Amino acid sequence: MMALLASPHPPTIFCALSCKRYHLGPRIRSPPPSLLLLPARNLSLVLPRCADGSAAAADGNMEKKDEAVPPTRPLESEKNKQPHQQQQQQYHHHEIRDGSVVKAQALKFEDTRWVGGTWDMRQFRKNGSTDWDAVIHADSYDSAANGNNGSDGSCGQQMWQQWKLRTTAAVATEAADRSSDSGGSSRGRLLVAEDPAVLSLNSGRNYTWSNNGRKLWALARSSNSFLMTEEGSVHCICGGGSGRKHRWRRENRDIKNLKKLFEEMTLYDKQWLATWQDDAPGDSKN
């Protein structure tokens, strides 16, 4: 999970996929819509294997890719309630109007990296380290395929969320550091709660609170900030406080600066009183 930090921004990978190869639609940032683009990549990995690695399969890949690029086919066969359903359905209709042959049911996208009920991490190795992006891609796609291979997408989702948390935390830390140089005042810094379950929006658009959520709310209020939710995770925009991790760092540095200032101010006094300090009892001589 920590390796997410090392990987470049997943969105750009999605963009790269979209812009360079498929010239499809606008940039897409969150996993579910990007599933539109995902299959192509996995397909290229998957299909050759399915086709026993024959050279001809490469061409077959391209063809199949073109066919599969409107990726709604595997999706539309499922009855998932993803918010982008509209878009996919539209796409699907478009396809039907075109009249191209759609063999939705026939295509069963198998990902050979899914081994025995979980992802085989060894197959995700790229350049000597794990390609977490590929893991996210595979998992998200697979879950969109409604557990085609058995995954429910939670793995990819979680990793995606973690990545998001970490980048925003990094940004917030940087902002906090910069602001602490100017005295610590800042507006709109981001506190990202690591626990996505603190606040959940139920169907009646009421917030239900977990204990952590209550604490966070109290924290937000005390630090003159407000909470905002996004896709099940909590973001807290702080006006006067910052994340626990970098607040501690800021406090630490402030304390050090204050200590240095205090020492500088009292050094002369200490020098004057030094002669009185070592006056231990019984110090006199006759």
Partner 1 sequence: MASLSTTTSTAAGDSLRSFAGLRRETRILRGVAAADAPGSQLRRRQLGVVRASRTSPRLNGRKLRVAVVGGGPAGGSAAEALAKGGVETMLIERKLDNCKPCGGAIPLCMVEEFGLPLDLIDRRVTKMKMISPSNVAVDIGRTLGPDEYIGMVRREVLDAYLRGRAAEAGASVINGLFLRLEQPEGPGGPYRIHYNEFSPAGGGAGERRTAEYEYAIAFQERVRIPETKMEYYKERAEMYVGDDVSPDFYGWVFPKCDHVAVGTGTVTHKADIKKFQAATRLRAKDKIEGGTIIRVEAHPIPEHPRPRRVLGRVALIGDAAGYVTKCSGEGIYFAAKSGRMCAEAIVEGSENGSRMIDEGDLRKYLEKFDKMYWPTYKVLDVLQKLFYRSNAAREAFVEMCADEYVQKMTFDSYLYKKVVPGNPVDDLKLAVNTIGSLVRANALRREMDKLTL
AA identity, residue 6: A
Question: Tokens 């406090």 sit at which residue?
Answer: 251
Residues 208-267 that bind partner 1 (CB under 8 A): 264-265
Stretch that binds partner 1, among 53-61, 111-119, 183-191, 272-280 (CB under 8 A): 272-280
116 is a contact residue toward partner 1 (CB under 8 A): no
> Quick one: 230 or 269, whose CB is closer to partner 1?
269
* Contact yes or no for 57/48 (Cβ under 8 A): yes
285 binds partner 1 (CB under 8 A): yes
Burial tier of 77 (Cβ tally within 10 Å: 0-12, 13-18, 19+): middle
Is 183 a binding residue for partner 1 by CB under 8 A? The answer is: no
CA gap 48, 45 in Å, rounded: 6
Helix or strand or coil: residue 227?
A: strand
SS3 208: strand
In whole angstroms, give the CA distance from residue 140 to residue 159. Answer: 10
Kindly state whether residue 273 participates in binding partner 1, applying the rule CB under 8 A. Answer: yes
How is residue 82 written in tokens? 């993803």
182 binds partner 1 (CB under 8 A): no
Nearest distance, CB of residue 259 and partner 1, angstroms: 17
274 lies in the binding site for partner 1 (CB under 8 A): yes
Q: Does 203 bind partner 1 (CB under 8 A)?
A: no
Residue 278 binds partner 1 (CB under 8 A): yes
Per CB under 8 A, residues contacting partner 1 are 264-265, 268-269, 271-286
